[in-house]
A = this chain, B = another copy of it.
């Protein structure tokens, strides 16, 4: 998606430690007109897949997932990162390692909101080492739902999370794929 690459080049900031800061439009402040364009593009990519549920994980995936749900007219579910008092009853659960925070968390979805009748599109803002995405795939499997694929705003292709999941047969569509990035610039794949 050309517009995503332009936004990253114009507004993104490469920080020490391999962090790409896109807080001005994607994950702290959100450019809502651009959000709608992302959702339209994701709808186009998966228009023949009969998606009937969007799945993401809190919290930076929620805005894109909600926009996709509105655009595709299907419900959206977000996994929580801890068991909280608001999740009662039986849940799907998997343990995920966060490189950003250097800890483990439980990714949790109530059984009420995912099941064998669902054709699930996973949506998230970033894909790098793939831990969060693998956790979401695991949740879909626990729910015996059908995984249609994943739609990612920005993939760091220089990390292997995306390619490992693709080699396992998961369809992944990323709106921008970063091949390399440094103080000197950002280079996109393809």
Contacts and interface: CB of A to CB of B under 8 A. Distances in A.
Interface of A: 15, 17, 19, 21, 23-24, 27-33, 35-36, 58-59, 62-63, 65-67, 69-70, 73-78, 80, 84-88, 100-101, 109-110, 112-113
B110 A23 contact: yes
Contacts of A28: 77-78, 80, 86-87, 109-110, 113
B32 A74 contact: yes
A58 B60 CA distance: 8
Contacts of A84: 100-101
A33 B30 CA distance: 21
25 contacts: A19-B85, A19-B86, A23-B86, A23-B113, A28-B80, A28-B86, A28-B110, A28-B113, A30-B69, A30-B75, A30-B76, A30-B78, A31-B75, A32-B66, A32-B73, A32-B75, A35-B66, A35-B69, A35-B70, A36-B70, A58-B58, A63-B66, A66-B66, A70-B70, A85-B101
